[in-house]
Structure 1
């Protein structure tokens, strides 16, 4: 029984490109402007926008911009070098997007030299990441880490958060490819923490995917599916098709491992359709090879071979040695089982040459065992013995590695538990903070209510006081009216009395003679 190889995709946090609706307006502005500086800026933007498009518009815009810069005499050298570096970076991305990684690297290094002369921090960070990604695509993990750590050093030096999660995730990916799973998990969780703090949904989904890959590699299928499902929901919400294809393909691998053939095939075909739609060659190669491996599981070799051959062809086009060695080894297995020994030997030797270069022991073990079987069946016993010895040596080495993996699984479980504990502590802290905030809010609400009650009470008292004053004024007014009425009555009575007195006096004066007359009369009587 030979092991079946399925390629599970680790998720690199690469920059994505999408054609925006601004291209028409950029072209319109370009036609109107006569300023060389503005022309270069607009051409640079257009070159970036067209990177994912199948035509060569990016090359056309970059060539125009570089030509203008070359003939600009009176422009700041730093500005010119920065824009030349941006344009070279677009050329690198253009070729990397089309799986021509070697050409992409040449342009990236040209851009890097220019950014080093200008000291452009943003440009250096972008280039370090893109070069790291390119070396990772070529399975040159040592160089990949060199450039990732250069970027990480700058992020830490200048205390930059935006973009750091991407680098941490990519470092984790390299460690995972090197089977250093505890280290990989440590970097993935660090990346996840930053993305959660920034509420970066796309970044969170990438971290979930990579953590799922690690758990799958250690046969924690339930944990892996849980993380994949969370990642898939986010990417469906964001409509990120490339990412959806990766996750669906990885979920299909788990179902295949669990011998859920129908479920696995359904997910493989769904991933294949998405990769074909977005023209993702690497993703297409993964899924084609994995479908071929599924047919090998089912002993349907006639169906397995076309898928594996197509996967090998595409892997050769994009230059991924690891994938090439996997699909060559898988074809060697199919041809061995079909007793087509010459074809099997051809593919197995080619795969063995690559595995000797990149150190992929699991694939090498299978190649040595299959070659030993072929040479034994064809009477080449000396060669059969040599390859069998090699197989035993690698198998024992992998057994030791398997024992180490058990320790790794324990360490990964520890890391997972630590993360869960950290999340619990964080949750408790957040809960305490929220409770404090709620208590503070309740106190504020209570104080406001008390203020309202005091205000309302004061208003009521004020209204009562106004009412009392108003009532007193009315009483005083009524009393004043009574007094005035009484005064008028007294005055009237007084007038009547005076009038009577005056009247009696006048009567008296009319009856009696006046004083002078009386005096005269009295005097006459005395005589």
Structure 2
């Protein structure tokens, strides 16, 4: 199987959510129904907004529809009362949620509004959070230069405040850029460094994401035993937190490992489970990556028409989200399948489009795959 038919799972960026308000509700394990009981009894708008913020955080990873409703209600109330700091909080939350759902323009709009308020109010602690989250959106849009610029600013700001956790978030996200560019050795070095510190400071919130990232790099380096070990660690932690977005990614990656190990039925079970969860939370990116993975299985089995159907679903999903990296990968895969069918002329268009995007994104591995496949197509046409 050509390297072009290997799927890269998304690396986990650190998404900075609003921190808990300790004087209000205590631990985040407070049940959602208890908060809903408290909400109408809060005596001030500020307390109602903060309660909605807590409801958002509890429901964010496992019930994004409810999370959106809580954040939208909180933002509306904050605007009505003119509470700028709370407006920025809710904009931040909606920005993170829109980013997870693949709505990147909306995400940037919310984050820019939050940043504008925080800069005007000289809210230095939360300015860094906005810059980090905006960097994450730029990363997802394939604008790695702007993403790294944001992350570098964040590392300086966090370092100046001696905020170890924040510094690690920023450095870890730079590692994710390396990963996307195919610089796996550099990415692994960064991830393991961050993971080591996260374990030392007991950063349980972000530990699973970094375990996933390490496993993902090992997968791409074809070190499957190490990949499975870290993926299983991440899986246990995501299950503990009932983090559905995290579960989608881990299950999809475990499926990729099984596919590489020539265990198609086990791979299919992982992919279909991941897709089921992605459908349940309307995770466009998860749906697209699972379609890509299932298309690879179909191609392995010689069912090229099914593979193309799934690839076109993934392609449309990536295009709708503005995910250039995913679009480039889907086009490359489409070109490969057309080559496998002997449709050499038809393969040229998607491969050339993929190559243009790969050059723009500076993804060396994908560029190489496209050049190799284009050469194969052109040689076949020449014959």
TM range, smaller chain:
0.7 to 0.9
Paired position in structure 1 for 2:6:
5
Call closer, same or farther: CA 1:67–1:142 in 2, change over 3 Å: same
Summarize deviations over 1:62-117 as a string: whole Å, max 9, x none: 23421331xxxxxxxxxx44334324323423432331112311321232122122
Contact 1:95–1:101 (Cα < 8 Å) also in 2 = yes
Name structure 2 gaps, 5 residues minimum. 19-27
Call closer, same or farther: CA 1:48–1:325 in 2, change over 3 Å: farther
Paired position in structure 2 for 1:39:
45
Call closer, same or farther: CA 1:49–1:350 in 2, change over 3 Å: farther
Paired position in structure 2 for 1:284:
287
Name structure 1 gaps, 5 residues minimum. 70-79, 385-527
Query: What is the CA–CA distance in structure 2 between the aligned matches of 1:103 and 1:41, rounded to whole Å?
Result: 27
Call closer, same or farther: CA 1:165–1:342 in 2, change over 3 Å: same
Paired position in structure 2 for 1:196:
199
Query: What is the CA–CA distance in structure 2 between the aligned matches of 1:220 and 1:2, rounded to whole Å?
Result: 18
Which residues of 2 match residues 260-275 of structure 1 at below 5 A? 260-275=263-278
Displacement of 1:372:
4.3
Query: What is the CA–CA distance in structure 2 between the aligned matches of 1:196 and 1:95, rounded to whole Å?
Result: 30
SS in 2 for 1:9: coil
Displacement of 1:125:
2.5
Contact 2:101–2:282 (Cα < 8 Å) also in 1 = no
Displacement of 1:342:
5.4
Displacement of 1:29:
3.4
Paired position in structure 1 for 2:32:
20
TM-score, scaled relative to structure 2 = 0.84
Summarize deviations over 1:375-420 as a string: whole Å, max 9, x none: 5555xx5xx9xxxxxxxxxxxxxxxxxxxxxxxxxxxxxxxxxxxx
Paired position in structure 2 for 1:53:
65
Contact 1:44–1:87 (Cα < 8 Å) also in 2 = no
Call closer, same or farther: CA 1:44–1:90 in 2, change over 3 Å: farther
Which residues of 2 match residues 188-337 of structure 1 at below 5 A? 188-337=191-340
Displacement of 1:267:
1.8
Displacement of 1:360:
2.6
Call closer, same or farther: CA 1:123–1:25 in 2, change over 3 Å: farther
Does residue 378 of structure 2 align to residue 365 of structure 1? no
Which residues of 2 match residues 26-105 of structure 1 at below 5 A? 27-29=39-41, 33=43, 38-40=44-46, 42-43=48-49, 45-46=51-52, 49-50=55-56, 52-53=64-65, 58-69=71-82, 80-105=83-108
Summarize deviations over 1:204-256 as a string: whole Å, max 9, x none: 22222211122222222211212112222222233323212211211221221
Query: What is the CA–CA distance in structure 1 between the aligned matches of 2:138 and 2:97, rounded to whole Å?
Result: 16
As a proportion of its length, which structure holds more helix?
1
Call closer, same or farther: CA 1:323–1:338 in 2, change over 3 Å: same
SS in 2 for 1:21: helix
Call closer, same or farther: CA 1:373–1:223 in 2, change over 3 Å: closer
Instruction: Select the residue among 119, 135, 143 that pairs with 1:140.
Output: 143
Displacement of 1:153:
1.8
- Equivalent pairs counted in the alignment come to 364
Bigger radius of gyration? 1
Instruction: Select the residue among 154, 158, 183 that pairs with 2:157.
Output: 154
Call closer, same or farther: CA 1:48–1:97 in 2, change over 3 Å: farther
Query: What is the CA–CA distance in structure 2 between the aligned matches of 1:155 and 1:329, rounded to whole Å?
Result: 39
Paired position in structure 2 for 1:390:
none
Query: What is the CA–CA distance in structure 2 between the aligned matches of 1:262 and 1:147, rounded to whole Å?
Result: 42
Displacement of 1:28:
0.8
Summarize deviations over 1:157-200 as a string: whole Å, max 9, x none: 12223444333322221222223334323332232233212333
Call closer, same or farther: CA 1:253–1:332 in 2, change over 3 Å: same
Query: What is the CA–CA distance in structure 2 between the aligned matches of 1:232 and 1:91, rounded to whole Å?
Result: 26
Paired position in structure 1 for 2:24:
none
Greater relative CO, 1 or 2 (CA 8 Å, sep 6+):
2
Which residues of 2 match residues 383-402 of structure 1 at below 5 A? none
TM-score, scaled relative to structure 1 = 0.62
Which residues of 2 match residues 450-465 of structure 1 at below 5 A? none
Contact 1:58–1:94 (Cα < 8 Å) also in 2 = no
Displacement of 1:9:
2.7
> What RMSD in Å do the two structures reach over aligned CA positions?
2.8
Query: What is the CA–CA distance in structure 1 between the aligned matches of 2:234 and 2:148, rounded to whole Å?
Result: 26
SS in 1 for 2:7: coil
